[in-house]
């Protein structure tokens, strides 16, 4: 047992800290620090700065731009990025479709897509969920019917995050309706500029436009856009969703947001006094710091001891607890803002600090965190069934 | 950074586990042992001595094994796993730790040697009826006259205080808190023992001009030694709790698998299994923090973490364990139903022990208060030194 990072890992941490605090456009980091929404251009600029340094897709195979890093180094990369107010690489590209293409795609499909996917020259959207297929994803109904050299795709996807920016969408489609539901699904790449694709915004409770519905009406998709084998899409999706849970505990960003909240509290009391002098507030902040520490240490335990490639049993805790704490900190920010939390629509000429204006929209927005990526109830089901052996 | 045990540490764990699981094969065996004074088994204590466990953290020249915090944590966790009533943390880590840290070479050799061999069981008499969790002594005062020292005042509750072969007593001295050794037959010493709810023993200990020997330098303020040693014991208690929580959770999940109601196993009901999943989350989070605190302590011996960092880490561990212990203890009983309320069944005793540990050396609220005082010292909590 030992606490210290090896000299090599400590140097790596320093290198990442320096990179993220000096090589990412300042306006991107300022926008994240202000808890404001990033533009498409800002997200692209951030990813391309990382990709130029060869660290945008470290989890990919080395021949396609990945890094031969240890799980601990990957964790450090992810943490230092978040602590420096740098947005993680677009997950649809870096964590989802990229690894699937690299693992299951043909050489032709890899060459065609992977370099542009790493560099965010193609913006990918995710086409998995449907109105009647949420946590029960395998019940999806969008169909792809073979027609000569093409598939004809019909159906509707939903919750497509940032789909308004999407160039391409990776989809799960039903190619064989006659078999068990998991066995008739394929993984198909669709150009979103194809005739018959319609993207419609879904307005969320924070007033923002983050997710979309995507409709497919007789969309003609070349069969060469199929990844891997027909009707094997469910296997690829399970592979992808396994990746999705890694790094889904946003430790660094939650730590950073809490430290921002603590700083904000110092002048948020009546007459500019410190709210940290309120013992209830101080206790809540100190308790959250301790809970986040426990989460971070659990993440470190998982990565420090998963070198043999097997997931550590405690990893299931990360998504569940990570999102709970992420939500708790957004809630704290609203409480600290107090009556100023109502001023979400304030613009020029307002005396309300910006962090107070964004507090409630962020709080409302992050209710999503315990729902996506396998809802927290699904996580409890996994813990109860897989770890504790409690099978109903 | 590495959270894993090495092969020697695994061997120690297996040996202690083997010994204790034999000594406390059932909850009923433990009940029998805790019914009789002193509340723990002399035979088991001797076996632990023979295995080297009672001298584990002490220097070899003092008669110990020269092992470190990791080994102490392994033993404490095994104690907790069967809630063995032997006072490992209280006598070895806490009382023995004070002697190791403050004693003269002669005191260390005499006391720690006998403790390691199982022949002397010390207790730390510190808590006073009105002191709550303060580390300074105020209710017992020390005075010196004619080259000797005497103590006057009351300590209570003193864990293991009636049975102890030697009391290590904190007392107010000029400029702070000193440490003193008091023998069981000292004049003016009264000890009234009683049972505690977790099967342990505590005592009212009265001093009336009771002769005492300073531990270490006469009249010196030992506040730093007390704070550092208490932090070590808090971390060890964290591990004892981890062992207890793990057993409480395992016992609960086994029950959910086997107990049938409405013709089906209880694990058919998601209302129950989800709560067990949350218990697991609490346990793993506590395990992470407590193990980290041990690593911080381990680094203190090489000088890469400071005494204050260890004390803060101990508070962080104690807070996490306080919350987890309450959650897991309460749910273990609830998920069992009525059987969990009975003295015959095990889980209630686990909750009792977790409650006792929670309130020894500072409960969650106390430690949260200490952490509040450090809020301004950092922007974020960085677990790496």
Instruction: Say yes or no for a CB contact (<8 Å) between B285 and A5.
Output: no
Residues with pLDDT less than 70, chain B: none
Q: Do B1 and A256 touch (CB under 8 A)?
A: no
pLDDT, chain A, mean: 94
Closest to A206 (Cα-Cα) out of A367, A43, A372, A354: A367
Burial of A383 (0-12, 13-18, 19+ CB in 10 A): buried
**Closest Cα to residue B207, out of B152, B280, B161?**
B152
Rounded Cα distance between A373 and A247, Å, is 11
Q: Which of B3, B246, B264, B383 to mutate to test the interface with A (most CBs of A within 10 A)?
A: B3
A307 compared with B13, residue with greater pLDDT: B13
pLDDT of residue A249: 76
In contact, B207 and B221? CB cutoff 8 Å: no
Using an 8 Å Cβ cutoff, are B297 and A1 in contact? no
Domain with CATH 1.20.140.10 in chain A: 247-387
Task: Please tell me the predicted confidence (pLDDT) of residue B193.
Answer: 98
Q: Is B16 helix (H, G, I), strand (E, B) or coil?
A: helix
Structural domains for chain B: 7-120 (1.10.540.10), 124-214 (2.40.110.10), 223-377 (1.20.140.10)
Given this model, what pLDDT does residue A250 score?
Answer: 84
Percent share of chain A, pLDDT over 70:
96
Q: How many CB atoms lie within 10 A of CB B302?
A: 9
At A244 the pLDDT is 55
Output the pLDDT for position A311. 61
DSSP bridge pairs for B192? B204
The radius of gyration computed from the CA coordinates of chain B, to the nearest angstrom, equals 21
Is A217 labeled as catalytic in the residue annotation?
A: no
Q: Given an 8 Å threshold on Cβ–Cβ distance, is A276 in contact with B379?
A: no
Percent composition of chain A: helix, strand, coil (DSSP 3-state, to 5): 55, 15, 35
Please list every residue in chain B whose beta carbon sits closer than 8 Å to the beta carbon of residue A387.
Answer: 280
With beta carbons less than 8 A apart as the criterion, state whether A336 and A268 touch: yes
Phi, psi angles (nearest 5°) of residue A206: -90, 5
Residue of B nearest to A384 (CA): B277
Chain A contact for B304, CB < 8 A? Answer: yes
- Report the residue from B288, B369, B376 with minimal CB separation from A294: B288
Give pLDDT tens digits for A144-183. Answer: 999 999 999 999 999 999 999 999 999 999 999 999 999 9
CB A259 within 8 A of CB B282: no
- Say what angle helices A279-304 and B364-372 make with each other, to 10 degrees: 100
Contact list, B273 vs chain A (CB under 8 Å)? 380-381, 384-385, 388, 390, 392
* Whole-number Cα distances in Å, B231 to B77, B93, B160, B225, B383: 17, 10, 20, 10, 17
Alpha carbon B294 to its chain centroid, in Å, reads 14
Q: Distance (Å, rounded) from C-alpha B294 to C-alpha B83?
A: 20
Beta bridge partners of B214: B180
**Which of left, alpha, beta for A134 (phi over 0: left; psi -120 to 50: alpha)?**
alpha
Which residues on B lie below 8 Å from A297 (Cβ)? 288-289, 291-292, 383
CA gap B53, A62 in Å, rounded: 49
Question: Using one digit for the tens of pLDDT, what is the confidence trace for A226-263?
Answer: 999 999 999 999 888 776 555 667 899 999 999 999 99
Of A300, A379, A384, the CB nearest to B276: A384
Taking only the tens place, the pLDDT of each residue in A74-95 is: 999 999 999 999 999 999 999 9
**Residue of A244, A289, A291, A324 with catalytic role:** A244
Q: What are phi and psi of A325, to 5 degrees?
A: -75, -35
Q: Nearest CA to B200 among B84, B43, B74?
A: B84
pLDDT of residue A248: 61
CA–CA min distance B244, chain A (Å): 17
pLDDT digits 0-9 by tens, A338-388: 999 999 999 999 999 999 999 999 999 999 999 988 889 999 999 999 999
Greater confidence (B168 vs A313) lies with: B168
The per-residue pLDDT for A135 is 81
- Residues in chain B closer than 8 A to A390 (CB atoms): 253, 256-257, 267, 273, 276
Dihedral pair phi/psi, residue B25, rounded to 5°: -70, -30
| Location of each CATH 2.40.110.10 domain in chain A | 124-230
Coil/strand/helix, residue B231: helix
Exposure of A363 in the CB half-sphere (CA atoms within 13 A): 20
Handedness of CA B307, B310, B314, B315 (dihedral sign): positive
In a 13 Å sphere around the CA of A147, the CA atoms on its Cβ side amount to 11
pLDDT for position A307? 54
| Token pair belonging to B194 | 């009683």
Cα(B64)–Cα(A211) distance, rounded to whole angstroms? 65
Query: Per-residue confidence at A310, pLDDT binned at 50, 70, 90?
Result: low
Burial classification of residue B185, based on how many CB atoms lie within 10 Å of its CB (0-12 exposed, 13-18 middle, 19 or more buried): exposed
For residue A288, whether the previous peptide bond is cis, meaning omega lies within 30 degrees of 0, is no
CATH number for the segment(s) A247-387: 1.20.140.10
Pick the CATH number of A124-230 from 2.40.110.10, 1.10.510.10, 2.60.120.260, 3.40.50.1700: 2.40.110.10
Backbone angles phi, psi at B44, to 5 degrees: -65, -40
Q: Which two tokens stand for residue B185?
A: 């037959």
SS3 assignment, position B39: coil
B277, B304, B381: residue with CB nearest A383: B277
d(CA A230, CA A220): 17
State the pLDDT confidence band at A134, using cuts at 50, 70 and 90. Answer: confident
Whether residue A290 and residue B5 make contact (CB cut-off 8 A), yes or no, is: no
Tell if the CB–CB gap between B295 and A259 is shorter than 8 Å. Answer: no
């Amino acid at each position: 047992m030992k606490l210290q990072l090896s000299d090599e890992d400590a140097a790596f941490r320093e290198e990442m800290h320096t990179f993220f605090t000096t090589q990412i456009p300042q306006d991107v980091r300022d926008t994240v620090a202000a808890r404001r929404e990033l533009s498409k251009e800002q997200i692209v600029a951030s990813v391309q700065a990382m990709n130029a340094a060869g660290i945008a897709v470290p989890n990919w195979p080395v021949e396609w731009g990945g890094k031969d890093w240890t799980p601990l180094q990957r964790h450090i990369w992810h943490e230092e990025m978040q602590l420096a107010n740098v947005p993680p690489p677009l997950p649809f590209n870096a964590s989802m479709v990229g690894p699937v293409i690299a693992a299951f795609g043909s050489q032709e499909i890899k060459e065609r897509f992977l370099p542009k996917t790493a560099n965010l020259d193609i913006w990918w959207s995710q086409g998995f969920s449907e109105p009647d297929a949420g946590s029960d994803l395998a019940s999806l109904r969008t169909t792809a019917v073979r027609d000569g050299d093409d598939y004809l795709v019909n159906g509707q996807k939903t919750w497509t995050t940032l789909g308004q920016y999407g160039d391409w969408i990776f989809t799960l489609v039903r190619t064989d309706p006659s078999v068990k539901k998991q066995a008739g699904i394929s993984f198909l790449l669709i150009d979103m500029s194809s005739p018959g694709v319609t993207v419609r915004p879904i307005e969320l409770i924070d007033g923002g436009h983050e997710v979309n519905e995507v409709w497919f009406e007789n969309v003609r998709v070349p069969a060469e856009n199929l990844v891997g084998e027909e009707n094997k899409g469910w296997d690829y999706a399970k592979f992808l969703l396994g990746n999705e849970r890694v790094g889904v505990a946003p430790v660094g960003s939650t730590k950073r947001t809490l430290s921002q909240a603590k700083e904000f509290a110092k002048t948020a009391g009546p007459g500019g006094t410190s709210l940290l002098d309120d013992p209830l507030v101080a206790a809540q902040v100190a308790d959250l710091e301790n809970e986040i520490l426990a989460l971070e240490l659990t993440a470190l335990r998982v990565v420090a001891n998963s070198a043999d490639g097997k997931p550590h049993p405690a990893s299931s805790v990360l998504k569940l607890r990570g999102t709970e704490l992420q939500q708790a900190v957004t809630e704290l920010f609203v409480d600290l803002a107090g009556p100023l939390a109502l001023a979400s629509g304030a613009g020029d000429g307002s005396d309300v600090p910006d962090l107070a204006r964004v507090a409630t929209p962020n709080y409302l927005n992050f209710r999503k965190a315990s729902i996506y990526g396998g809802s927290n109830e699904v996580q409890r089901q996994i813990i109860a069934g897989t770890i504790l052996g409690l099978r109903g | 950074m590495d959270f894993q045990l090495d092969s020697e540490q695994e061997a120690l764990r297996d040996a202690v586990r083997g010994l204790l699981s034999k000594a406390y094969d059932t909850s009923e065996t433990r009940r029998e042992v805790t019914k009789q004074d002193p509340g723990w088994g002399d035979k088991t204590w001797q076996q632990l001595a023979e295995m080297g466990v009672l001298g584990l953290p002490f220097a070899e020249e003092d008669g110990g094994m020269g092992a470190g915090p990791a080994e102490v944590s392994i033993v404490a966790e095994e104690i907790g796993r069967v809630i063995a009533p032997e006072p490992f943390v209280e006598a070895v880590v806490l009382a023995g730790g004070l002697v190791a840290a403050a004693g003269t070479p002669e005191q260390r050799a005499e006391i720690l040697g006998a403790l390691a061999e199982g022949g002397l069981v010390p207790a730390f008499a510190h808590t006073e009826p009105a002191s709550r969790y303060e580390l300074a002594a105020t209710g017992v005062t020390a005075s010196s006259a004619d080259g000797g020292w005497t103590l006057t005042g009351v300590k209570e509750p003193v864990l293991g205080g009636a049975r102890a072969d030697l009391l290590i007593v904190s007392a107010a001295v000029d400029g702070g808190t000193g440490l003193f050794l008091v023998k069981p037959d000292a004049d003016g010493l009264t000890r009234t023992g009683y049972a505690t709810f977790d099967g342990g023993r505590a005592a009212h200990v009265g001093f009336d001009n009771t002769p005492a020997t300073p531990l270490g330098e006469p009249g010196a303020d030992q506040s730093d030694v007390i704070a550092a040693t208490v932090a070590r014991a808090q971390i060890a208690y964290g591990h004892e709790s981890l062992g207890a929580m793990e057993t409480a959770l395992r016992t609960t999940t086994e029950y959910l698998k086997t107990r049938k109601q409405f013709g089906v196993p209880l694990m058919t009901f998601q209302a129950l299994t989800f709560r067990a999943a949350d218990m697991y989350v609490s346990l793993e989070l506590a395990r992470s923090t407590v193990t980290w605190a041990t690593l911080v302590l381990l680094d203190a011996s090489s000088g890469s973490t400071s005494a204050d960092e260890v004390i803060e880490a101990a508070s962080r561990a104690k807070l996490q364990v306080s919350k987890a212990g309450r959650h897991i203890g309460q749910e273990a009983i609830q998920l069992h139903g009525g059987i969990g309320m009975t003295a015959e069944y095990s889980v209630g005793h686990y909750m009792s022990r977790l409650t006792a540990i929670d309130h020894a050396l500072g409960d969650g609220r106390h430690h949260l208060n200490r952490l509040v005082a450090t809020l301004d010292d950092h922007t974020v909590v960085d677990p790496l030194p």
